[in-house]
Structure 1
């Protein structure tokens, strides 16, 4: 397969993954599919998990992935007739995608590690209050579903956050792989031409 056609194969999944990342990040602002928590957070009462506000899925996995995907896709236009300069530029754009994917991955991993912000209680904390119950916990809440019951409000917020942050983690990992492949593909296209020497 010529490097120009390979660029198209790489670009299309990046579009899809960027869309998934943006949707996941937006959904994370509305735990329990309710807008009241976002509204309350806007007025100074912490109701949204802090890592959601870093917008790893929107900025890193979304915008920083879509811009390189557009250029990578353009290098495949004209049935492998993209020039060496275009392939060279795609290396830089793919590097931007790598940075965005790493940012999205880091935020998602941090979000999973710390857990959600919720109205919670347990035996050590008998008076319910808003906070991040799993951040300073000695046990891993991800492997102990009994701990999920600590969060009372929003309902099912742990499952909600784990599902969406895990999706962002997978999407970011795939974007990282695809953009890295495009950097190698762009290098080959720049050195050897986009179609086995046919320009």
Structure 2
């Protein structure tokens, strides 16, 4: 497989992963499928930073479109296009890394919810934020009995876990694929334009 064809395969592989990142990020704005939490500003900063929509979405989408475009050229390795794809792949890696970092923070700090901690008064906040050093059985990530601390929105802990995990996994795949494209682009840039053999 020549660098041009490899770029096309990477682009096609990136599109569904980009879709998952963007959709997961957008869904995080609507716990319980309600607009109330946006209006009352009961969302975490990790949702508002748009890691999935911007980092894993648009910053990867346009480079992926470039990868697909250079795969349709007539030559097996167009030097200018392949060299440019290295820069685009680097932008994609940075965007996907941003998404990965924001998603990891969203998982570590936990959701923003209405909760009570030993008092009768309910308050909005992040009840799991104080236990950041506990990543064993004491962490809310591994102890489902702690999830009941969040009263509203209903099932917000599972909601956040699933969607941030989707973003985390998708952005990790994007980093891997775009790193491959950086290497592929360098190979295409060095090899130059080689015509396919006539059949």
TM-score calculated relative to the size of structure 1: 0.91
How far is the alpha carbon of 1:167 from its aligned partner? 0.2
1:48 paired residue number: 43
- CA separation in 2, counterparts of 1:147 and 1:108? 21
How far is the alpha carbon of 1:49 from its aligned partner? 1.5
| 8 Å contact from structure 1 (residues 119, 151) kept in 2 | yes
How far is the alpha carbon of 1:79 from its aligned partner? 5.3
How far is the alpha carbon of 1:122 from its aligned partner? 3.5
Deviates more, 1:94-103 or 1:77-86: 77-86
How far is the alpha carbon of 1:80 from its aligned partner? 4.6
| 8 Å contact from structure 2 (residues 77, 189) kept in 1 | no
Structure 1 residues 86 and 114, CA, compared in 2 at 3 Å: closer, same or farther?
Answer: same
Map 1:1-199 onto structure 2 (within 5 A).
Answer: 1-41=1-41, 47-78=42-73, 80-123=75-118, 125-137=119-131, 138=134, 139-193=138-192, 197-198=194-195
| 8 Å contact from structure 2 (residues 150, 157) kept in 1 | yes
| 8 Å contact from structure 2 (residues 90, 179) kept in 1 | yes
Structure 1 residues 192 and 82, CA, compared in 2 at 3 Å: closer, same or farther?
Answer: closer
For structure 2, the 5+ residue unaligned runs are none
1:44 paired residue number: none
| 8 Å contact from structure 1 (residues 4, 79) kept in 2 | no
